[in-house]
Structure 1
Amino acid sequence: MASTNLPTDPEGLTGKLCSWVHDVKLEDIPGDVQTRAKYLILDGVACALVGAHLPWSEKAANGIFEMEPPGDCVVFGWDRKISPLSAALLNSTFIQGFELDDWHSEAPMHLNSIILPALFSAATKAKSTVNGASFLLAYLVGLEVGPRVGNALYGSHMLSVGWHSGAVFGPPASSTAVSKLLDLPANLIEDAVGIACTQAGGLMSAQYESEVKRMQHGFAARNGLFGALMARSGYVGIKKALERPYGGYLATFGKGTGRDPPYLLDEVTKGLGSTWKTHAVRVKPYAAMAGTHGTIDCIRKLQEDYPDRMKDLASITSIKYEMAEAAFHHGGWKAKRPITSTGAQMNNAYVAATQMVDQRVLPAEFGQDKLDRDLVWDLVNKSTCQQNNEFTWDQKATITFKDKQILTTIVKAPRGVNPALSNEEIVDKWRHLTIDIIDDGKRSKIEDVIMNLELVENVLELAQLLSGVTGHAL
C-alpha cells in the first residue's frame, strides 16, 4: 500500500481495522464461512421480498416516492427505481419489516438489513461492473466488522441502556462493506468510517408504537453508503473516529454503558482474520424479536410435554417468565391494549400468548385483525416478566392453573442459537416464506444465483431479479 494511501495512524485502532478491510481477499476467508454467508444472503432476500408490501412498508415507500424523482437503484419487490441513498434506506426497511431477519448473538444487530441494501446501491454507483465474488467479499467484511465494534460497547448491554444497538453498531459495518466493494484505499476507508460513525444512533423506544423501528437499521445502511461514496469523492471524514478519547465513537457511546472500562478497544481487532464473527449470525425461526424466542420455546416445550393441559387456557391463573437482563429490558415490559404489530412482536408476554393460542409465531399472527383478540389479551394480562441475573440465554416459564397445578420449564438457549438453523433449514424458510410472494421460476432463479454467487459476472443481475411487484404477506 502506498504511503499516501495509509490511514492516519496505521497502528491505531481505526487504522488497523481499515488496513485489514483493504487487504483482505476472498481466499483468506474459510470456505465454510463463505458458504454460510451465501445462505445468510438468501435469508435476507427472503425477508426483503416478504417485507416489501407490508402495510407500514408501503407507507414508507409511498412517502419516499413522493419526495424522490426516479433514479437508477432497484427497490426490492417494486417496479420502481430511486436514488442510491433512498434505495438503501427503503430496502433495509423491507428486510427489517417483520422481525424475520437475522441477528447477531454477540452484538445484537440485523446485519442483512445494514449491509445488503448498501451494497446493492453501491454496485449501481460503482465505476466498473461488480461481480458476485467481490459482492460476497464485501458482504463478509461487513459481517466481521459490525459485531466487533458492537462487542467493544458490550454488545447487548446497549439495548439495556436504551440504544437500538444495531442502529449504533451498523454504520461501521455498512461503510467498510461498501468501501471494500468500491475498492477504496485504507485512508479513504478511514474517511468513510468517520463520516458514517458521526451519524450513528437510534432510540430503542421505537419498539413500542412506532413504525420507524423497522427503518432504523436503514439509517445505518444509508449512512454507511453515504460515508463511502463521499470518501470516494475526496470528502474528508473524522480521522481515528473509533478511538478518539474526546468525541470519538467508542468514547461517546461508552459514556452511557455504566461499565468499567466504559468500552473495550481491543474487541474491534481481536481475532480479526482468524476468528470469524459470521458464525454468530443467527437466523430466526419465528417472526418476533430475538429475545422472545426462548419464551416461545418454553411454551412449545410445555405444549409438547403437556398437550391436553396446555389447551385448557381458560384454567390458567398466572404465568411468569424469567429472562436475562437484555431480553428483559427489550421485551419484558408490560404490554397494554391496544397494541401495534411492532409492539406485539417486541413483547415476550404477547408473543408467548400467541404461541399458546395459535401454536405458531409467524407473520399472519401479527396482522391487524389478530392484535385485539380477547383470548390472547387474557393470557397477556395474567403474565409477568422478571429479570434473572443468573441467566444468559436461558429463559424459564412457570404456569399456574386454577387447580393449583404448576407447569414449569427452562430452555437453555433458543432454537436458532443452539442449535443454529442449518443451511438446509434456511432454504426451507426461504421457500416457505416466498411461496405466495414470487412465482416458482423466479424463486428458483434467485436461489441458484445466490448459491453460485462467486461465479456471477454482474451482481446487478441479482438486483434485477429482486425487482418487480411481489405478493402481499398479509
Structure 2
Amino acid sequence: MATHHLASWAHNLLYSDLPQDVVRAAIKTFYNWAGCAVGGSDHPAATIARSTLTPFFGQPTASLLGTSYSVDAQHAALLNGIASHVHDYDDTHLDTIIHPAGPVASALLAVAQWKGGFSGKEFLLALIVGIEAECKLGLSVWPEHYDVGWHITSTTGSIGAAVAVSKLLGLSIQQTSHAIGIAATQVTGLREMFGAHTKSFHPGRAAQNGLMAAIMAQGGYTSSLQALEAKRGWANVIGATKPDVQANMDKWLGIAQETHGVGLPVGAATGRWEILRNSFKPFPCGIVIHPVIDACSRLHVELEARGLAVGDIQSVHATVHPLVLELTGKAKPRDGLEGKFSFYHGGAIGLLYGKGTPAQYEDAVVQDPEVIATRDRIRGTADSSLAADEARVVLTMNDGEVLQSHVLHAVGSLEVPMGDEALEAKFIDQCSSVLGDGVHAASQACWAIVEAEDVASISKALCTC
C-alpha cells in the first residue's frame, strides 16, 4: 500500500498544486545544490572518481558541473552527486539530517540534459516530488535507522531520485511503483565512511541508482509492488530496530490520514511540506558543529574589538547538545575531510578566522600549528537540555578575564535561515575560482530556473566549456 500510495501521489501532483513558498524553497534548494556541485568539482574525491571511471563512460550526454567534461547520464549523476556533497556544504532536512538535493538534483539534471526539452517548472515539480519522498521515508525510520549506522541521505536518496526521475519522464503509477522497488533494493551508505572520500560517494551512488531504477522501470523492468511496506521490504529491513516502523511509515506517507494532516500532500491539499523544513549551511561541515562555529565567530569579533588575540586565550569550554560530541568528536583531525567532523576544529577556525568556508577546511589549515594549538585548548561538555542548534562557549583568558557567547539558534537553522544574499555570497565564494568571470551569469541562470524553457541550458552556465 505504501509503495502504491507514494507512486500515485507523485504521478498525480501538478505544478498548479504547489504553494508559492514551496516553489521558492525548491528554487533555493536547486541554487544551493548547483553552487555546491561546482564548488566541489575540483576536490580530489571528485577528480579521482572521474579519472578512474573514465574507461567506463558512455556516450557524452550530460555535463560534469564545474568542468569541461561531458559523460553519460548515469556517470554524470554519480559524479555530480559526489561533487555536490564532498564539502559537506549542501542542504539539510533538519528533522532527519538528510541532504535531500544531492541524490535528487544530480539524477534529474543528468536526465534533463540527456533527454532535453524539460522546462524549469517541470524540473522543479520533479525535484519537489523527490525531496518529499526521501524525507517522508526518512522520517518513518528516524532516528533508529541512522543510529544503527546507515547514512540516511543515500538510503532514502535512491528512492527519492527514482521517484523524481519517474515524475520528470511521465511514468505511469505502476512504472513508478516498480522504480521505487528497483531503487529500494539498492541500499547504499554506511556512517563508518564519514571523514573519507566515500561519504560523498553515497549521494552520488544514490542518484545513479535512482536514475537507473526509473529508466529500467520505464522499459518494463519489474520489482515487487510492495517494496516499501512488505515484511522483507525496505522499511522493515533497514528500519528493523524500530518496532512500529510500519505505522510510522503510514503516518508520514499520509496513509489513512486526513489530507490536511501530517501526510503527503494530495492534489491541492498541502499536508506538511518537508522541503519547507530544508535548511542551507553557512559552514561546510557537520551541521551539529554550526552552533559552536557561530558562537566562536562572535567571540572572534569581540576579541578583535578588545585588542586581544587567540594566543591570549588560556582555555575554551563549549557546552553543546550530546549529538555534537557523538558525531563530531574528532579531537585530532588529520585532514580537511576529518576536520568536517571535528567540533574542535570548527571552534578553532571560528576563533581564529571568524568564519568557516571551504578554505578553512583545506588540509593545510587543519594541519596548521596555530590551528592545532587552538583546538587543543577546547573542551566540550554535553548537555541534553540544549537544543541541537544551541551552544554556549566560555573563553578564559590568560589574565583571568572571562568572555562568553550563547547561541540559541545557529545561523542556518529554521529560526535564523540564510537569506538570498547570504546564499548568493556562498555561491560566488564557492564557484568563482572554478567559473571565473562567468560566475555571476551562472548565479543568475540558477535563480531564474523557473523561467527556463529547457533546463539543460542552465548546465552550460555551470561548466567551463
What TM-score, normalized by structure 1, do the two folds share?
Answer: 0.88
Q: Note the C-alpha offset of 1:139.
A: 0.8
Residue 238 of structure 1 is matched in structure 2 by: 224
Conserved in 2, the CA contact under 8 Å of 1:160 and 1:329? no
Correspondence 1:167-316 to 2 at 5 A = 167-208=154-195, 210-244=196-230, 246-256=231-241, 259=242, 261-262=244-245, 264-265=248-249, 266-269=251-254, 270-273=262-265, 274=270, 275-307=272-304, 311-316=308-313
Residue 359 of structure 1 is matched in structure 2 by: 354
Determine if the alignment matches structure 1 residue 23 to structure 2 residue 12: yes
Correspondence 1:112-127 to 2 at 5 A = 112-126=101-115
> Which whole-Å CA distance do the structure 1 matches of 2:352 and 2:451 have between them?
46
Residue 257 of structure 2 is matched in structure 1 by: none
Determine if the alignment matches structure 1 residue 71 to structure 2 residue 60: yes
Closer/same/farther in 2, CA of residues 159 and 376 from structure 1, 3 Å limit? farther
Residue 105 of structure 1 is matched in structure 2 by: 94
Residue 379 of structure 1 is matched in structure 2 by: 374
Residue 83 of structure 1 is matched in structure 2 by: 72
Q: Note the C-alpha offset of 1:398.
A: 3.1
Conserved in 2, the CA contact under 8 Å of 1:140 and 1:278? yes
> Which whole-Å CA distance do the structure 2 matches of 1:243 and 1:84 have between them?
30
Q: Note the C-alpha offset of 1:395.
A: 2.1
**Corresponding letter in the other structure for 1:219:** R
Q: Note the C-alpha offset of 1:178.
A: 0.7
> Which whole-Å CA distance do the structure 2 matches of 1:23 and 1:326 have between them?
39
Q: Note the C-alpha offset of 1:306.
A: 4.8
- Output the aligned Cα RMSD: 2.2
Determine if the alignment matches structure 1 residue 62 to structure 2 residue 58: no
Q: Note the C-alpha offset of 1:125.
A: 4.3
458-467 or 188-197, larger mean C-alpha shift: 458-467
Residue 8 of structure 1 is matched in structure 2 by: none
Long gaps (5+) in structure 2:
255-261
Long gaps (5+) in structure 1:
1-11, 470-474
Secondary structure class of the residue paired with 1:318: strand
What TM-score, normalized by structure 2, do the two folds share?
Answer: 0.90
Residue 425 of structure 1 is matched in structure 2 by: 422
> Which whole-Å CA distance do the structure 2 matches of 1:315 and 1:451 have between them?
44
Closer/same/farther in 2, CA of residues 428 and 372 from structure 1, 3 Å limit? closer
> Which whole-Å CA distance do the structure 2 matches of 1:57 and 1:251 have between them?
34
Secondary structure class of the residue paired with 1:321: strand
> Which whole-Å CA distance do the structure 1 matches of 2:440 and 2:369 have between them?
41
**Corresponding letter in the other structure for 1:149:** L
> Which whole-Å CA distance do the structure 1 matches of 2:237 and 2:381 have between them?
31
Determine if the alignment matches structure 1 residue 389 to structure 2 residue 384: yes
Q: Note the C-alpha offset of 1:27.
A: 0.7
Deviations 1:247-299 (A, max 9, x none): 2211112224xx55356221233332212111111111122221111111111
Closer/same/farther in 2, CA of residues 315 and 254 from structure 1, 3 Å limit? same
> Which whole-Å CA distance do the structure 1 matches of 2:377 and 2:135 have between them?
37
Closer/same/farther in 2, CA of residues 160 and 392 from structure 1, 3 Å limit? farther
Determine if the alignment matches structure 1 residue 38 to structure 2 residue 27: yes
**Corresponding letter in the other structure for 1:148:** K
> Which whole-Å CA distance do the structure 1 matches of 2:383 and 2:228 have between them?
33
> Which whole-Å CA distance do the structure 2 matches of 1:53 and 1:326 have between them?
31
> Which whole-Å CA distance do the structure 1 matches of 2:428 and 2:22 have between them?
22
Q: Note the C-alpha offset of 1:70.
A: 4.6
> Which whole-Å CA distance do the structure 1 matches of 2:282 and 2:307 have between them?
22
Q: 1:137 aligns with which of 122, 125, 128?
A: 125
Deviations 1:153-200 (A, max 9, x none): 125x54443222211221221111111001111111111111111112
Conserved in 2, the CA contact under 8 Å of 1:303 and 1:310? no
Conserved in 2, the CA contact under 8 Å of 1:296 and 1:352? yes
63-72 or 31-40, larger mean C-alpha shift: 63-72
> Which whole-Å CA distance do the structure 2 matches of 1:411 and 1:84 have between them?
43
> Which whole-Å CA distance do the structure 2 matches of 1:317 and 1:260 have between them?
49
Secondary structure class of the residue paired with 1:202: coil
Closer/same/farther in 2, CA of residues 163 and 424 from structure 1, 3 Å limit? same
Residue 9 of structure 1 is matched in structure 2 by: none
> Which whole-Å CA distance do the structure 1 matches of 2:58 and 2:239 have between them?
40
